[in-house]
Every structure is written in structure tokens, then in C-alpha cells.
Amino acid sequence: MAQKGNLLTVRKDLRVVDATIRDGGLCNDFRFEDKFIKDLYKANIRAGVDYMEFGYKASKEIFKEEDFGKWKFCNDNDIREIVGDNNTDMKIAVMADVGRTDFKNDIIPKNESPIDLIRVATYINTIPAAVEMIEDAARKGYETTINIMAVSKAKTEDIVSALDILGQTPVNAFYIVDSYGSLYPEQARHLAELYTEKAEQYGKVSGIHAHNNQQLAFANTIEAMTQGVSFLDATVDGMGRGAGNCALELLLGFLKNPKYRVEPILKVIENHTHKLKEKGVKWGYDIPYMLTGQYNTHPRPAISFVKEDRKDIYNFSNELYDIINS
């Protein structure tokens, strides 16, 4: 069960989820070297990470395999090549997007797969489709979470309705997803309170996935945690779409349970993510992302701005104003 706690408490309900490959893969079309994935897998185990998310189970009908690295699709065999039978305390997760996953065919029974957890990603208006996917995955033997994206745009009464529907399903955790990096800590705490209350009502737990548009991903994660949120998403070096995510090294350095260690992650940063940045893969806090976060809007225009190597942030802020008010 979820717990609340202060800075000195060890929270046995906590689960640290490394989402580096999945969210970071959005920065390089999932083209990671196997060495990166193997080193990250080993480092996560040593760091005490509870779940490692490998990528998406994307539909090969919708996306062409040649356009992406393999972690867009997460074939069970590709995961097994990294983890073998994964005889460790760390569980393996993948994400399945509503409407973009061929889940009936691509998600095989759990007893034939190295995957433990299917994370179903949905917007608030596609909850029924998400329920179908949760029920399918649970029937096949998986743990499941429901990740309701762009929560900063959703109305509270719609969130309550969604959680009441999801409470009737076998889903294990309700996730707050701040896709736009728009939440302030006060708002993150309020949402965490709501999600945790609803989770308790239905015998489930809650989680948070934060973005760093306003340098608040780490703050929002630990503030939500203090309200009872159990599943905490983070990525190495904050690698993730746009402004990136809560940095795993910040989170591990904060948590009091001695099983969590930051040092193994420092090696991955030194050997891999810093080198990716040098090679031109782009993510992390920057003014254009700050502006889309402040406007509570999708980071798409900011991602284009950064990709084009533009420097005229003042013009960008005017363009953004026009986009939003047009």
C-alpha cells in the first residue's frame, strides 16, 4: 500500500522506474547502441532501480521498422538478448500507446516474455480503449499501469471519472503524467492527493511521470511522493523528449532507502549520455521549452525551434503567443 512520509522515512512502497530508453528514445528515434542498453541495464540493477522501461510496443502496421531503432518495437527477443532470463530483482517494462499498439498480436503471454509490466499510455478521452488494453495485458499475466498524459490540460471532474472507471479494471497503478512540464509543485501535490485517494479506494497505487520544462520535474516528483505517490519515473541525465525528465541521479541521491545508489548511474552518464549530447542528440531544459511549459501547451514548436538550431528566443516567444491565441 502507498505511504506518506517525510525526508527521513524509508518508503517500502516506492518503485523507481527508469524510463531512459523509452522517453530518451524520442530524442534519437530509439537508435541506441546495444552497449548503451546493456550498460544501463547493469547499472540500473546496481543502483537499486525497481523497473527498467525498454521502449514502446509500437505497431509495425503504423510505424515502419526501418525508420526507428528496435526499442520503438521492443520485440521480446530483442529484450531477451539484453536481459537473458532477467534473474534479478529489477522488473522489465514497456509502454503501449492507445491506438498505436497491435496489442492482441504483439503482447504475448507473460510466461513466454521477459516483460513484467505493460504501461498503457492514453489521453483522458481514450480511456475505454485503454481499459481494453489493460484487461488484455492483465489476462495475459502482466502487471499494468495506466499513464494518463497531458494531465495539466484535463479537468478535475474528468480525471475523477477516469479514475473511477479505471478503478474497476485490474490495473495496478494510476499515473500522473505532466506531458507539458506545466505543473507547479502545489498543483503536483493536489493531483497526487487526488490520485492517491482514488488509488487507495480501489486497492491500487499511484505514480508520477514529470517533465522538466520549468526545472520542476524533480521537485514535482518528490513532492508527489510525499503525498503518497509510489511509482516514480526518472531518466538518466534527464534524457527525454524536449526538456527531458526527472533526472534519475537526482532522485536516487534523494531517496533514503540504502538500496538506492547514484554512483552506477554516474558511469552511464559519463560513458553514454554525455557522449550522445556531444554527438548532437538534444534534450534538456532550454528557454523554448520553458515557454511552452509556462503556456501549458505541447512542446512541439519548441522542439522544432531547438532542432533548427535557432537562437532568436524573443521572436519565438512572439510566435508562440500567436500560435496559442490563433
- How would DSSP label each residue in 308-323? TT---HHHHHHHHHHH
3-class secondary structure, 235:
strand
- From 62-70, 138-146, 168-176, 215-223, give the range in contact with a copy of itself by CB under 8 A: 215-223
Mark 155-184 with x for binding to a copy of itself (rule: CB under 8 A) and - for no binding: -----------------------------x
- Counted residue by residue, the chain has a size of 326
186 in contact with a copy of itself (CB under 8 A): yes
Min dist. Cβ of residue 183 to a copy of itself (A): 10
The set of residues, in sequence order, having a beta carbon less than 8 Å from that of 90 and lying 6+ positions away, is 44, 45, 49, 50, 51, 52
**Considering only residues 267, 277, 282, 298, which one is a binding residue for a copy of itself as defined by CB under 8 A?**
267
- From 87-95, 127-135, 142-150, 246-254, give the range in contact with a copy of itself by CB under 8 A: 246-254
**Distance from chain centroid for Cα 12:** 21
263 in contact with a copy of itself (CB under 8 A): yes
**Considering only residues 124, 185, 197, 259, which one is a binding residue for a copy of itself as defined by CB under 8 A?**
185
**Considering only residues 137, 205, 229, 247, which one is a binding residue for a copy of itself as defined by CB under 8 A?**
247
The set of residues, in sequence order, having a beta carbon less than 8 Å from that of 319 and lying 6+ positions away, is 301
Q: Which is nearer to a copy of itself, 73 or 316 (CB)?
A: 316
Taking the CA of residue 304 as centre, how many other CA atoms within 13 Å lie in the half-sphere pointing to its CB? Answer: 7
- Please choose, from the candidates 47, 51, 48, 25, the residue with its C-alpha nearest in 3D space to the C-alpha of residue 36: 25
107 in contact with a copy of itself (CB under 8 A): no
317 in contact with a copy of itself (CB under 8 A): yes
Amino acid at 262: V
Separation CA 274–CA 270 (nearest Å):
6
Cell of 91: 522488473
Cell of 126: 481514450
**Considering only residues 104, 311, 323, 324, which one is a binding residue for a copy of itself as defined by CB under 8 A?**
311
* Number of residues engaging a copy of itself in binding (CB under 8 A): 39
**Considering only residues 149, 219, 224, 306, which one is a binding residue for a copy of itself as defined by CB under 8 A?**
219
CA distances to 16, 201, 313 from 230, in Å: 8, 15, 38
State the DSSP H helix or E strand holding residue 131, giving kind and residue range, or none if neither.
helix 127-139
257 in contact with a copy of itself (CB under 8 A): no
Cell of 134: 489493460
**Considering only residues 77, 104, 312, 323, which one is a binding residue for a copy of itself as defined by CB under 8 A?**
312
Q: Where are the alpha helices (DSSP H) in 92-126?
A: 103-106
Min dist. Cβ of residue 4 to a copy of itself (A): 12
**Considering only residues 226, 259, 282, 296, which one is a binding residue for a copy of itself as defined by CB under 8 A?**
226
Residues in touch with a copy of itself (CB under 8 A): 6-7, 184-187, 212, 214-220, 222-223, 226, 247, 249-250, 253-254, 262-263, 266-267, 269-270, 274, 285, 287, 290-291, 294, 311-314, 317
